[in-house]
Amino acid sequence: MRHITRLITASTMIVLMTTAAYAQTPRDTVVMAKQIDDIISLDPAEAFEFSGVEVGANVYDKLITVDVAKNNALIGDLAENWTVSPDNLTYTFKIRSGIKFHSGNPLTAADVVYSFQRAVTLNKSPGFILTQFGFDKDNLLQKVKAVNDTTVEITVSKPFAPTFFLNCLTSGVASIVDSKLVMANAKDGDFGNGWLKLNSAGSGAYSVRAYRPNEQYALEANANWYKGAPKNKRVIVRHVAEPASQRLLLEKGDIDVARNLSKDQLAAVREKADIGLVQGDKGYILYLGLNTKNPNFAKPEVREALKWLVDYDSIERNIVAGTYKPHESFLPQGFLGAITDKPYKFDPAKAKELLAKAGLPNGFSVTMDVRSTAPITDIAQAIQANWAQAGVKLELIPGDGKQTLTKYRARTHDIYIGQWGPDYLDPHTNAETFAINENNGDDAKSKTLAWRNAWDIPEMTKVTQAAVLEPDADKRAAIYGVLQREHQKISPFVIMFQQVEVSAQRKNVSGWVIGPTSDTNLYAPIVKN
Amino acid sequence: MARSSAPVTGPATVTSGPGPGRLARWGKMLSRELTTVAITMFGLLAITFLIARVIPIDPVLAVVGDNARPDVYEAARLALGLDKPLWQQFAIYVGKVFTGDLGTSILTAQPVISDIKRVFPATLELATLGTLVGITFGIPLGVLAAVKQGRWPDQLARFIGLFGYSIPIFWLGLMGLLLFYAKLGWVSGPGRISIAYQDFVTPVTGVILLDAAMQGEWDAFWNALSHLVLPSAVLGMFSLAYISRMTRSFMIAELQQQYVIAARVKGMSEARVIWRHALRNALVPLTTVIALSYANLLEGSVLTETIFAWPGLGRYITNGLLNADMNAVLGGTLVVGAIFIGVNLFADILGRIFDPRTR
Amino acid sequence: MGNWTAYLTTDAPASRRQARLGQAWRQWLTLKQNPLAIAGLVIVMSLLLIAAFAPFIAPFDPLAQNLDQRLMPPSAVNLFGTDSLGRDIFSRIVYGARVTLFIVLLVVVSVGPLGLLIGATSGYLGGWVDRALMRLTDVFLAFPRLVLALAFVAALGPGLENAVIAIAFTAWPPYARVARAETLVIRNADYIAAVRLQGASAWRIVLRHIIPMCLPSLIVRTTLDMAGIILTAAGLGFLGLGAQPPMPEWGAMISAGREQIFDQWWVATFPGLAICVVALGFNLLGDGLRDVMDAK
């Protein structure tokens, strides 16, 4: 009996000892840990989630892009230059010559037309970014034309503000794909969608080497990229759900970059000598949606009272420091027309006064749907404690993301706490959802955030819709400024924070820049020493 | 999570005594068992289908995301067949299952069959090692308890066994990671293999240890093993608790048998009596116990897989559930149910072959 | 005292009650011999006491946040430290005993009767009712238990009550099996035949005669299962589908501490220990009870 026990102990020890060693990541390979389980597809015509769009941004080129270093100014990408007709209806793009796809096929105007055609015809989630300019699968070939091998002419349906159309062309859905390669892999008229979900056919900095859903993707550098070969040979992004695990992997040198560290972990790694932080403002806005179907939220005083009843400072300092910054208007910093006004602060006395005015001097009871993820749960609990100070009894209903969202879209919530991320780099993306509600009926097709909170705003809807037709960029910005200030006063949205994306990296890594959207998170400049 | 209660074997339907030929009797029994299995599987599917449809989660959201326009949303809804009445959706699904088509997962956009082929080996690997841990420690512990029945080793074994039933597996996993990975650095962290080794092993069987060994990638093999040690030890706690308990009771029964007394009288050494004779006889019912515990580990490692970022079947089903990914949930449940029923059937048949009363 | 002992230990009980009490007394004497079972009993009793006197034991309000005092290590003031919202973990664990007790009670009143009724009906009536009910039992047994519970919670909506209902839905099959097996033995007993001859209805026989006979083995089973139920509830809480925040449910507390596990170990460690101790208590007690009540 005894020797058996000893044998077991000994063999266990041996297993533990021999496996303790770990390897460093290879020199020419950048290894990242990131939550990538949101990816539905790598097809640029379909990808609409943060991680999928980020892959596309590194694999495909677009006609134009933004310069992150110059406050998101529009610059040519595949297009060398472009002109806009005086009536703001026709755009002409001149394409760089000599560019080749990863497959070796030359990139021509025909590829541009095909890419637009497939994005509009497939009309997947991001398809509207293009179709809102009047394209559909029947008229596309008349509206997007190859004049010759290097010239493309695009006609839009209304004299939209050029900034609006051009900003939309910088989003992933306008990526240019290798038409020959895609057509060779098309099946049953799917424009190669089935194949592109897992593979790539681009001309960008990388090609997709292997993608396993919910596990990882590996990108191979394109030495012939027109901007010059990337500074690394390969990028591997591994799905690691737990921020705590990401941090440990980083500290042990198993990975080079950790993308999803929480506030406390960032504070901890900040102390480490061999780890550095990189940050960039993201367009995601954290807000509360108050459903005005609830008779209490139909009263403007109650809505205003709740805006005075969130301890923005304390939540920022203690729960989200470094990952969110205070922000109280619907356009995130970095967007045309964004304002920095922060009219609200924590003032329970004022809130009580407003509640009394609304006929609720003793407060009221209400529920909030909360996704069971950090830091949302903690923020919700802090708000719960804040509101109790004015007698507002908040009951938190936990749930998974999809569950709370389903309820939100059905307008059966009282309060929803969540994030909104812009779909493309133009103010209209957020203005549309926060300030347009064409039909407040339950049968409405368009489920904007204003509709979801049953906020009936015929006047504001008109103003917002007109803003996209203002050709002058400065005037357009001014319109959004007025709109946001009005919105801050009366809307059923308690806008609290804007996300700051922070990633931690080993000290031997440099060059990584975080852009304002997933479309601008580029891997090519990352170097390892 | 492993069931904390002992699994109950399937219905026993043995008629003894004179009757038709032995072969015919077996044939009849087999067909009856198969009918039972078919009915159970159908019930399993029907209930799963119903639950997954009642859940207030919109499956279209997982396809098109939250920001999709109405036309895109509607197109996806139609493509999923959600406009048809419930019974029709179910009939279509069952019809496809008969042709071996489990449909396509919404989340991964892959056929569910290929998804399961990918995630199942991970669970298999974990459960196998967990069961090995359970056997290695559980059987000696159980034997010891039986031999020293009523004395302190017995009490200790009993305590260890009950303790295994009392620890929240996710907490044990966390504590293990904290101690052995973060503080001591003895084992590797979450995941199946370190990223550096990720592409060294080509998946053939999907079981990384096997693949690495076959391809001679010994570094990768050791690395994968260091990832496996902790989760399989955690999972093994449950297996250990169950196996040691059952070993104890089987051994006590064996040690009271005539032949043991006879062997002792003949002067055979105590170790020989215990290990060569009593344990060997107890192994037959123990095989059944081990099979059942194995099935439990296979189907019940949702929490372990969550803690250790293990891309296995339990997480696949759970993830599908929370995204209303019907096909994934149904396919996964079907596999799990089949395993459970299969193992029970195996245990049943084994019991019948070796049980002297039915021999 | 002597009188009582004599009353309880007599070989010739004068009434049915005396016989029952006498049996219970003898069982208690056997149980007392088992130190592990007594330890279990002490733990379970302590759980009851802590839950009852939580406001006197806990030094702080379990819900009171103090964001300036977040993630403080264990000290004389905060015995088990504070969590990410600056709440006292010790106080939360003490109040969490109430939550655990609530789960335990709710399950006892839901699972036992459900399984008992299905099993006894199935066993007594036999025939197609038996076959149908047992197939249903098989179906439920073939589910992964936590996944099934998860599905039910998702369908019912998150929350502690719903979590308990979901657990009850998944936990009844083994009870039904046990009750059915017992019933099969009892139904052919002479005294049941006698009752039947007196013209008692099937329902009456099941409810009045069969179910009481199945009770002892089910009590043992419930006690032993309690640990599993507490663990499943904690598992649901851990996955974020059990208790609602800010309720101090132990599983959810571990989940909340997962973020800080490598830096502030105490946040997740103490609630886990609490679950361990209580589950172990029920297991030890149940194990002892089985030896005493369930000779098989």
H/E stretch holding A91: strand A90-95
Suggest the residue from A251, A371, A378 to mutate for an interface test with chain C (most C CBs closer than 10 A).
Answer: A378
Q: Does B349 touch chain A (CB under 8 A)?
A: no
Most confident of A23-27, A259-263, C11-15: A259-263
**B169-205 pLDDT, tens digit each:** 889 999 998 899 888 888 887 888 877 677 677 778 8
Vertex C283 angle, CA C280 and C289, to 5°: 140
**C134 vs B318: CB contact, 8 Å cut-off?**
no
Answer whether B53 touches C (CB < 8 Å): no
Q: By the CB < 8 Å criterion, does A313 face chain C?
A: no
Angstroms from A324 CA to nearest CA on chain C? 17
* C67 vs A contacts (CB less than 8 Å): 314, 317-319, 382
A415-420 and A365-371 strand pairing: parallel
Of A19, A13, A232, the residue nearest B193 (C-alpha): A19
Would you state the pLDDT for residue B2? Answer: 36
Would the CB atoms of A406 and B64 count as touching at under 8 Å? no
pLDDT at C250: 93
Question: Which helix (H) or strand (E) covers residue A210, if one does?
Answer: strand A206-212
Q: Is C25 exposed, middle or buried (0-12, 13-18, 19+ CB in 10 A)?
A: middle
Token digits of residue C117: 């009724």
Contact C107, C167 (CB under 8 A): yes
Q: Contact B56/A407, CB-based, under 8 Å?
A: yes
Q: Which residues contact A78 (CB under 8 A, 6 or more apart)?
A: A61, A62, A63, A95, A96, A99, A107, A112, A176, A203
Instruction: Evaluate whether A495 touches A328 at the Cβ level (below 8 Å).
Output: yes
B positions 28-47 inside 8 Å of C (CB): 36, 39-40, 43-44, 47
Q: Residues 6 or more apart from B277 whose CB is under 8 A from it?
A: B259, B260, B263
> By the CB < 8 Å criterion, does B10 face chain C?
yes
Which chain B residues touch A40 with a CB distance below 8 Å? 62-63, 65, 107, 109
B5 band by pLDDT with thresholds 50, 70 and 90: very low
Question: What proportion of chain A, given as a percentage, has pLDDT over 90?
Answer: 69
* Reported confidence tier of residue A11, pLDDT bands at 50, 70, 90: low
Chain B residues inside the 8 Å CB shell of A446: 69-70
Could C142 and B40 be called an inter-chain contact, meaning their C-beta atoms sit closer than 8 Å? yes
The pLDDT tens digits for C65-91 are 888 888 899 999 889 999 988 999 999
Say if residue C230's pLDDT is above 70.
yes
Candidate from A247, A396, A403 with C-beta closest to C244: A396
Nearest residue of chain A to residue B104 (CA atoms): A194
Between these two residues, C65 and A462, which has the higher pLDDT value? Answer: A462
Residues C142-199 have pLDDT tens digits of 777 777 888 888 888 778 888 888 888 888 888 888 888 888 877 777 887 888 888 8
The whole-angstrom distance between B8's CA and the closest CA on chain A is 31
Checking if the pLDDT of A92 tops 50, the result is yes
**Residue C200, pLDDT score:** 79
Confidence of residue B20 (pLDDT cuts 50, 70, 90): low
CB contacts, 8 Å: C153 with chain B: none
Residue A246: closest CA among chain C residues belongs to which residue? C259
C261 vs B contacts (CB less than 8 Å):
174, 177-178
Q: How far apart, in whole angstroms, are the C-alpha atoms of residue B326 and residue B331?
A: 8
A185 CA: distance to closest CA in chain B (Å)? 17
- Taking only the tens place, the pLDDT of each residue in B97-132 is 888 888 888 877 788 998 899 889 999 999 999 999
At A199-215, the pLDDT tens digits run 999 999 999 998 987 78
Residue C295 pLDDT more than 70? no
ipTM above 0.95, yes or no: no
Residue A28 has pLDDT above 70, yes or no: yes
Pairwise CB contact (< 8 Å): A244 & C258:
yes
Prior bond of C245 cis (ω within 30°):
no
Measured in angstroms, the CA of B250 and the nearest CA of chain C are apart by 14
User: What's chain A's length in residues?
Assistant: 529
Position A95 scores a pLDDT of: 95
pLDDT digits (tens, 9 = 90+) for A287-335: 999 999 999 999 999 999 999 999 999 999 999 988 999 999 999 988 8
Average pLDDT over residues A271-294: 92
pLDDT attached to residue B11: 40
Nearest to B62 among A23, A218, A402 (CB): A402
Which residues are CB-neighbours of C26 under 8 A, at least 6 positions away? C8, C9
% chain C with pLDDT above 90:
24
Q: What is the pLDDT of residue B300?
A: 61
Q: Which one of A246, A310, A377 would you mutate to disrupt binding with C, by most C Cβ within 10 Å of its Cβ? A: A377
Q: How confident is the model at residue A3 (pLDDT cuts 50, 70, 90)?
A: low
Neighbours of chain B (3+ CB pairs under 8 A): A, C
Q: Which residues of A are less than 8 Å from C245 in CB distance?
A: 370, 377, 380-381, 384, 396, 398
Q: How far apart are CA A111 and CA A96, in angstroms?
A: 13
Q: Which of A25, A208, A214, A407 is the best mutation test for B, with the most CBs of B within 10 A?
A: A214
Is A377 an 8 Å CB contact of chain C? yes
Is the model more confident about A22 or about C66? C66
Neighbour tally for A373: CB within 10 Å: 12
| Mutation site, B35, B174, B308, B322, interface C, largest C CB count within 10 A | B174
Chain C residue at shortest CA distance from B40: C139
% residues pLDDT > 70 (chain A):
95
In terms of CA atoms, which chain A residue is nearest residue C157? A399
Per-residue pLDDT tens digits for A244-266: 888 888 988 889 999 999 888 88
Name the B residues in 168-197 with CB < 8 Å from any A CB.
Answer: 180-182, 185-191, 194-197
Could you say which of B40, B168, B321 has the minimum Cβ distance to residue C147?
B321
CA closest to A388 among chain C residues: C64
Lowest mean pLDDT among A336-345, A490-499, B61-70: B61-70
Contact B174 C224 (CB under 8 A): no
Task: Calculate what percentage of chain B has a pLDDT beyond 90.
Answer: 9
B57 part of contact set with chain C, CB < 8 Å: yes
Residues B71-93 pLDDT 10s: 888 888 888 888 888 888 888 88
Confidence of residue A4 (pLDDT cuts 50, 70, 90): low
For residue A245, the chain B residue with the least C-alpha distance is: B190
Q: How far does the CA of residue B35 sit from the closest CA of chain A (Å)?
A: 37
**Mean of pLDDT values over B249-270:** 83
Are residues A469 and A159 in contact, defined by beta-carbon separation less than 8 angstroms? yes
Q: Does B89 touch chain A (CB under 8 A)?
A: no
**Substitution target from B139, B180, B194, B322 for chain A, most A beta carbons within 10 A:** B194
Q: Residues B276-320: pLDDT tens digits? A: 788 888 887 888 888 888 888 876 678 888 888 888 888 888 888
Cis? peptide before B311, omega within 30° of 0: no
Q: pLDDT grade, residue B10 (50/70/90)? A: very low
**pTM confidence score:** 0.82
Closest chain A CA to residue C262: A244
More confident residue, A513 or A485: A485
Q: Is residue B4 over pLDDT 70? A: no
Q: Pick A53 or C191 by higher pLDDT.
A: A53
Which chains sit next to C, with 3 or more Cβ pairs under 8 A?
Answer: A, B
* Closest Cβ–Cβ partner in B62, B189, B271 for A245: B189
- Mutate which of B55, B60, B67, B317 to disrupt the A interface (most A C-beta within 10 Å)? B67
Residues near C222 by beta carbon (within 8 Å), at least 6 away in sequence: C108, C111, C112, C175, C286
Cα(B41)–Cα(B39) distance, rounded to whole angstroms? 5
- Dump pLDDT digits (tens) for B133-166: 999 999 999 999 988 887 888 888 888 888 888 9
Q: How many residues in chain C?
A: 296
Confirm or reject contact between A365 and chain C (CB < 8 A).
Answer: no
- Chains touching chain A, criterion 3+ CB pairs below 8 Å: B, C
- The pLDDT-based confidence of A5 (bands split at 50, 70, 90) is low
Residue of B nearest to C147 (CA): B318
Note whether A397 contacts C260, CB cutoff 8 Å: no
Backbone φ, ψ for residue C53 (5° rounding): -105, 25
